[in-house]
Structure 1
């Protein structure tokens, strides 16, 4: 082997030795750091322990080592339950995140609907309805309600009659005629003019309606 090849091998060997020494030095530094950390933790732990002992003595609290041991064993036995509980909390948190926008939107829609009801006067109507109901309860006695119950059948018959289209139309015509007559200036009519008006076809029809109405009223009135 020539000198050049030998020199190359020596250089490679020196490089490997340097790497090995560097690795050993790093491990030594890590070991020293770990020892320093353990030492610091020991000091802190001792201080915490001493402080806890003093605080417990001041508060007259006695700890049973057996109870602490049993508690530790229970905690270890229930690690799976704790894990499941944390998973449940995470699921609930995700559910809250998903549901919150929906709840906010629902609240906004409900608020908008309340504002719409307020603009349309629903709440004012309910308040006035309450006043009407209060006045009704105040003014109507139990005897009045009893009489109303006793005469409910004729009232129902009257309501059924009012619901007929021809009756409703007749009431509408009568109301409209009364309104128009009230707004007009009614002239004075002499006897002769009244006789002439009665001879007109529409007046004869009106008189026939009145006579028929009175006849039916007398027929349906048991006290007549």
Structure 2
């Protein structure tokens, strides 16, 4: 009799646990249903407004876009899904690389700005502006025919400049300029004074060079 009562009590306890489980499950289902109903109530006005706005926007572009165009674009996007994924992967790679290079680019930009400021203080940009003004004057002073002739004779011009910039030529030109600028002509120049200067070896060499130059000019 005691064993039967014990078994009955066990069954009652098990049944009580099942009833409690079902009660809790029903309560949770009721709570979820209420939450879903509340969500529906909150989203219904939003969905209605979105639908209204969508209809208005579609009405505005109805004359430009047809339903077939949208379907064709959708199918094209679906066909190019892999290409889009590759493009997105490349964009992610570029974004990651930019994040890695961003500190370096900032340092390079600061260095560049410092260098440009230094060049400005030293006068590089002022020199370039002056060079541009000179270039403008040169361009406006020569005709197309002048430029063509310059191109034909550029080698000869460069060779002449090369010869003119030799040390002995530059020294002679500097000394000549110095004499012309610093030393004035004698007050009283007589023929005897000139003949006496002809005995100076330096004067003789100068006359010889002058005569050579005159001969070269006459030959050309």
How far apart are the structure 2 equivalents of 1:25 and 1:215? 133
Partner of 1:9: none
Q: Tell me the CA shift for residue 169 of structure 1.
A: 2.4
How far apart are the structure 2 equivalents of 1:148 and 1:179? 33
Aligned-partner SS, 1:135: helix
Q: Tell me the CA shift for residue 164 of structure 1.
A: 2.5
How far apart are the structure 2 equivalents of 1:120 and 1:205? 48
CA RMSD in angstroms comes to 4.8
Aligned-partner SS, 1:188: coil
Are the structure 2 counterparts of residues 97 and 222 from structure 1 closer, same or farther at C-alpha, using a change threshold of 3 Å?
same
Q: Tell me the CA shift for residue 114 of structure 1.
A: 1.7
The normalised TM-score by structure 2 is 0.57
Match of 2:143 among 141, 144, 147: 141
Partner of 1:165: 167
Q: Note the 1:122-201 alignment, pairs <5 A.
A: 122-145=124-147, 148=150, 155-181=157-183, 188-189=187-188, 191=190, 194=193, 198=197
Indicate whether 1:213 and 2:209 are aligned: yes
Partner of 1:42: 37
Q: Tell me the CA shift for residue 44 of structure 1.
A: 1.4
Are the structure 2 counterparts of residues 90 and 196 from structure 1 closer, same or farther at C-alpha, using a change threshold of 3 Å?
closer
How far apart are the structure 2 equivalents of 1:132 and 1:55? 66
Gaps of 5+ in 2: 1-12, 59-73
Q: Tell me the CA shift for residue 46 of structure 1.
A: 4.8
Indicate whether 1:32 and 2:27 are aligned: yes
How far apart are the structure 1 equivalents of 2:95 and 2:149? 64
**Pair member with larger Rg:** 1
Q: Tell me the CA shift for residue 212 of structure 1.
A: 0.5
Partner of 1:222: 218
The normalised TM-score by structure 1 is 0.56
Gaps of 5+ in 1: 1-16, 62-70
How far apart are the structure 1 equivalents of 2:84 and 2:96? 18
4+ runs deviating over 6 angstroms:
24-31, 81-90
Count of residues in correspondence between the two structures: 184
Q: Tell me the CA shift for residue 177 of structure 1.
A: 3.5
Q: Tell me the CA shift for residue 204 of structure 1.
A: 0.5
